Amino acid sequence: RTGRRRDSCGGMRSGEETNLKGITPMTTAAITGVAARAVVTPMKRPLRNAFGIIDSGPLVLIDVTTDQGVTGHSYLFAYTRLALKPLVLLVEEIGRELTGKALVPFDLMKIMDARFRLLGWQGLVGMAVSGLDMAFWDALGQIAGKPVVELLGGAPRPIPAYDSYGVLDAKADERTLRTARDEHGFRAIKTKGGHGDLATDEAMIKGLRTLLGPDMALMLDFNQSLDPPEATRRITRLADYDLTWIEEPVPQENLSGHARVRERSEIPIQAGENWWFPRGFAEAIAAGASDFIMPDLMKVGGITGWLNVAGQADAASVPMSSHILPEASAHVLAVTPTAHWLEVLDFAGAILAEPLQVIDGKVTAKGPGLGLAWNESAVAKYQVT
């Protein structure tokens, strides 16, 4: 006879576990510690945008230890070295408050939501929370011996990816772009604009379209550098070059400005990498701010937040792409109903034991967990204090 013995009132005795047909109940893992380290990785080529040049990868590596003997990993791109020290401190201080708690990402997100509701989610706090959430899911995947995509009810599948660059020049960068297309199989390229006047943008796009041909998808990112009238003027001139999208033409918080640009644009508008957590996407979708959305896992609330936004995108029939963090993005895009494109911009390859692989222009989720493991000798080489 299986199951718990009944007490005198007919109920189950506390502390006794059901064991139907020999099934052993699952034990919930607990967090035993959180650590963070800062590294600055080299980049194969500098990334120039409307506001300057990114020539290295300032990253925060997160490690969450558990009582199951596994360590969950994730990383954050800090944009600037100035943010490394405060991000490391935030991750570790928040981690101290969560130590001893059950490794249940949805419950942990509620705890962190309550903790920072008055302070607010934007900025470094939001990034720290998102990074911790990704590490929680990675640990759960490792404990289960499965990739995170399977924990989410999906299966690893090749996700179409685009190769992401800064400002490009068709002549100077011809070899690089041909390699991306012919050797790595990319069928889409993204470049940056807004670094000069309209004539500069048009000359770049015209040259790239001629080089890449009509079958390659071509995206242009203005990185929030224009106001709505100027964005509309430039987009009107560029409409003849068959662009897949125009990204962040105006400041990200200007939802009404995005909506005005979108109303007048013949090219779809893409945005979202700088919208924070599911509430931010709900407001943007309601405002009609863009045709496409592209959450950033480290600003949307990690995997837990992404799932919420994926539901919003599905309900609104909005195609959804990713922003950086390609290793983890391959897991969540595989279970996103409106999955569109995965961005490949490799900041972490130099410190990963198994760097990202692009096969035939696509990226497939790896496991167990998120498939992240540090190359500790490389971490030691690039670590900063």
pLDDT digits (tens, 9 = 90+) for 291-323: 999 999 999 999 999 999 999 999 999 999 999
Give the model confidence (pLDDT) of 167-206 as tens digits. Answer: 999 999 999 999 999 999 999 999 999 999 999 999 999 9
**What pLDDT does residue 26 have?**
52
What pLDDT band is residue 385 in, cutting at 50, 70 and 90? confident
What pLDDT band is residue 371 in, cutting at 50, 70 and 90? very high
Question: Do the Cβ atoms of 25 and 17 come closer than 8 Å?
Answer: yes
What pLDDT band is residue 27 in, cutting at 50, 70 and 90? low
CA distance 25 to 220: 51
**What pLDDT does residue 310 have?**
98
Active site residue 323: yes
**What pLDDT does residue 17 have?**
37
Q: What is the pTM of this model?
A: 0.91
Phi/psi for 164 (5° steps) reads: -105, 130
User: Which residue among 190, 192, 195, 362 is the active-site one?
Assistant: 192
Q: Which residues contact 88 (CB under 8 A, 6 or more apart)?
A: 36, 37, 38, 60
**What pLDDT does residue 6 have?**
33
Give the model confidence (pLDDT) of 206-238 as tens digits. Answer: 999 999 999 999 999 999 999 999 999 999 999
**What pLDDT does residue 343 have?**
98
Q: What percentage of residues in the chain have a pLDDT greater than 70?
A: 93
Active site residue 192: yes
pLDDT, averaged across the chain: 92
User: Which residue among 73, 195, 258, 323 is the active-site one?
Assistant: 323
What pLDDT band is residue 361 in, cutting at 50, 70 and 90? very high
Q: Residue 159 has which token pair?
A: 């996700």
Strand 188-192 and strand 159-164: pairing? parallel
**Average confidence (pLDDT) over 248-269:** 96
Q: Is pLDDT at 332 greater than 90 in this prediction?
A: yes
**What pLDDT does residue 335 have?**
98
Question: Do the Cβ atoms of 248 and 222 come closer than 8 Å?
Answer: yes
**What pLDDT does residue 380 have?**
98
Burial 265-297 (b: 16+ CB within 10 A, else e): bebbbbbbbbbbbbebbeebbeebbbbbbbbbb
Closest of 93, 86, 92, 96 to residue 123, by C-alpha: 86
**Average confidence (pLDDT) over 92-102:** 97
- Helix crossing, 302-316 with 326-333: angle to 10°? 50
**What pLDDT does residue 90 have?**
97
Question: Do the Cβ atoms of 362 and 160 come closer than 8 Å?
Answer: yes
Give the model confidence (pLDDT) of 55-80 as tens digits. Answer: 899 999 999 999 999 999 999 999 99
Question: Do the Cβ atoms of 167 and 204 come closer than 8 Å?
Answer: yes
**Average confidence (pLDDT) over 6-22:** 36
Alpha helix ranges (H) inside 99-145: 105-116, 124-144
- 8-12, 142-146, 335-339: which range is least confident on average? 8-12
